[in-house]
Amino acid sequence: MGIRARKTFKAGPVRMTVSKSGVSTSIGVKGVRVGKMANGKTRTTVSVPGTGISYVTESKKKEPAELPLDPSTRTPPIWFRFMGVLSVVLAAMLLILALLWWPSLIFAAFFFWLGVKLVKNAKSYSGQSILRDISGADLDDDE
């Protein structure tokens, strides 16, 4: 039997837990929560608050995508994950600000969308492809 330690940070509906196995994030409210665990799996929990009754599903960990042979053509995935988590935390803070200034809801929605997209697709995106995906434009110079 080993010793376990973890620390959870909360910002509105967003939770970030740091433990020996890594960092996990989740978002949700009482009764429904979706999160990315430290081992890379996605966990969805639906419960009836106050009863102890819940339904939990976990996705299987995806196989790593093949990386390009030329390392200069890709950006390290850890950078995208960090920026994604930072964007989700910023979105949570903007949700709190929305109590005073309602237009911040638009910014919160954008940063939440961006954060989820960055974290979800960290392994498969290079810098050019994420900009192309966000802007919808073709950024290739050879045309």
Distance between CA atoms of 56 and 47, rounded to whole angstroms?
Answer: 8
* 35, 24 contact by CB (below 8 A): yes
Mean pLDDT value across residues 36-61: 86
The answer to whether residue 72 sits within a structural domain is no
Strand order in the sheet with 42-48: 6-11, 14-19, 22-29, 32-36, 42-48, 53-58
The answer to whether residue 86 sits within a structural domain is yes
Examine the domain organization and report whether 48 and 89 are in the same domain.
no
Query: Residues 81-140: pLDDT tens digits?
Result: 777 788 888 888 888 888 887 878 888 888 888 877 777 766 555 555 555 555 555 545
Contacts 24+ apart (CB under 8 A), 64-67: 64/123, 65/123, 65/124
**pLDDT score, position 76:** 54
In 3D space, the residue among 135, 120, 35 whose CA is nearest the CA of residue 80 turns out to be 120
Query: Residues 35-48: pLDDT tens digits?
Result: 888 888 888 888 88
Examine the domain organization and report whether 90 and 127 are in the same domain.
yes
Structural domain including 87 reads 79-138
Half-sphere exposure of 2 (CA within 13 A, CB side): 4
Q: Assess whether pLDDT exceeds 80 at residue 22.
A: yes
Examine the domain organization and report whether 48 and 92 are in the same domain.
no
Tally of domains in the chain: 2
Q: How confident is the model at residue 68 (pLDDT cuts 50, 70, 90)?
A: low
